[in-house]
């Protein structure tokens, strides 16, 4: 089939001809250049012409003009790109767009060769990571004038470029709920990931801490593969090797749903023989049977705060990052799986 001819890009010169003004006037109006005395009627004529023609500014030209791009590169961990991850990234992208920044996702880790290529082709104003980043990579980015913001979870000393997402409130809430249900031998089931996310690490740390304080010295951990058949076999082996486990906390509702559905096929009663608690309260939790008990928090408020931190960081290279974003809205949502 013959492809339709490609429509030429609308330039500022085309807008100028349509509006009957100079190219300089178009540039002043579309870039909202200060110090110019342009009549309101002329400004409106330029804006109307640009809208009719479908004008879009050239990102590369804008980058040269203002000395930087509006692109923020997001380094994302090996998540398997679950529904949980996709929804969170979409929310972050929308939130950044509202403050004039564009999010470009890049799988982690970011090696030195890929870093050099990235800086040549994208010229980002900032790099935001949701997974640990090596100090030498941070130093290289900062040396190129790129602001780095790394979101982490858990406890410990912070680097100047790190922001802590709470103190593991999700994991602590999961553990406390299961203990309140009478479970004192709890296991942890999470996705098998080469590069765990900051929230994975923080939640696991909090869960282990709560159970250790309650007297459970060893926490059985299952890193479950994303392939359904392999996951079910791994779960069978794990439960056989750890008969003392009566409840599991999971990294998110996706892996919790996998545990519940696998348990059903194996004839393991949930919650009679095995209680399961997820995290994030995503729609999949209401589709499995029994429906998932989970932990819910105001993630929109957390992402809005993270967006404001990113915006402030890229606007002012000397602006100090806050040490922590509180996650004080985490609460349990009780359904059938516990």
- DSSP secondary structure of 144-180: TT-EEEEEE-SSS---TTEEEETTSHHHHHHHHHHHH
**What is the β-pairing status of strands 294-296 and 331-333?**
antiparallel
**What is the pTM for the complete model shown?**
0.68
Structure tokens that stand for 219 in this block: 């926490």
Structure tokens that stand for 261 in this block: 């559905």
CA distances from 297 to 111, 145, 291, 301, 302 (A): 34, 35, 18, 9, 9
What is the C-alpha to C-alpha distance for residues 203 and 265, in angstroms, rounded to an integer? 28
* Residue 256 DSSP symbol: H
What is the C-alpha to C-alpha distance for residues 266 and 259, in angstroms, rounded to an integer? 10
Q: What is the pLDDT of residue 70?
A: 85
Domains of the chain: 12-57 (1.10.260.40), 71-166+300-326 (3.40.50.2300), 169-296 (3.40.50.2300)
Are 234 and 250 in contact by the 8 Å Cβ rule? The answer is: no
Q: What is the mean pLDDT of each run of 10 residues along the chain (338 residues)?
A: 52 86 84 78 90 69 52 76 70 88 82 72 83 82 86 75 80 90 91 69 74 81 84 87 92 88 87 94 90 90 89 88 82 96
Are 280 and 253 in contact by the 8 Å Cβ rule? The answer is: yes
Q: What is the pLDDT of residue 6?
A: 46
CA torsion 71→77→81→87, rounded to 10°? -60
Q: What is the pLDDT of residue 8?
A: 60
Q: What is the pLDDT of residue 191?
A: 83
Q: What is the pLDDT of residue 2?
A: 46
């Amino acid at each position: 089939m013959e492809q339709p001819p490609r429509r030429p890009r609308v330039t500022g010169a085309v807008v100028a001809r349509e509006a009957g003004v100079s190219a300089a006037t178009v540039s002043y109006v579309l870039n909202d250049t200060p110090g110019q005395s342009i009549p309101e009627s002329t400004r409106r004529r330029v804006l109307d012409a640009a809208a009719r023609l479908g004008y879009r500014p050239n990102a590369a030209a804008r980058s040269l003009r203002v000395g930087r791009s509006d692109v923020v590169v997001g380094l994302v961990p090996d998540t398997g790109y679950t529904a949980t991850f996709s929804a969170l990234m979409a929310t972050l992208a929308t939130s950044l767009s509202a403050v004039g920044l564009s999010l470009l996702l890049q799988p982690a880790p970011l090696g030195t060769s890929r870093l050099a290529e990235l800086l040549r082709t994208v010229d980002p104003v900032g790099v935001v990571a949701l997974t640990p980043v090596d100090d030498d990579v941070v130093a290289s980015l900062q040396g190129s004038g790129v602001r780095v913001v790394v979101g982490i979870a858990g406890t410990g000393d912070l680097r100047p470029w790190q922001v802590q997402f709470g103190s593991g409130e999700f994991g602590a809430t999961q553990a406390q709920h299961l203990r309140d249900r009478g479970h004192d031998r709890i296991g942890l089931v999470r996705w098998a990931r080469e590069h765990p996310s900051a929230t994975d690490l923080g939640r696991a740390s909090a869960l282990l801490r709560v159970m250790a304080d309650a007297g459970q010295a060893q926490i059985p951990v299952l890193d479950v593969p994303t392939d359904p058949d392999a996951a079910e076999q791994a779960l069978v082996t794990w439960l056989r090797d750890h008969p003392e486990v009566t409840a599991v906390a999971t990294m998110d509702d996706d892996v919790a749903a996998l545990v519940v559905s696998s348990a059903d096929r194996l004839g393991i009663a949930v919650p009679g023989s095995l209680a399961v608690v997820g995290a994030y309260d995503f729609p999949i939790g209401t589709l499995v049977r029994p429906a998932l008990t989970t932990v819910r928090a105001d993630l929109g408020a957390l992402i809005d705060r993270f967006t404001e931190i990113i915006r402030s960081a890229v606007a002012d290279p000397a602006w100090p990052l806050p040490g922590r974003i509180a996650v004080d809205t985490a609460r349990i949502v009780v359904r059938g799986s516990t």
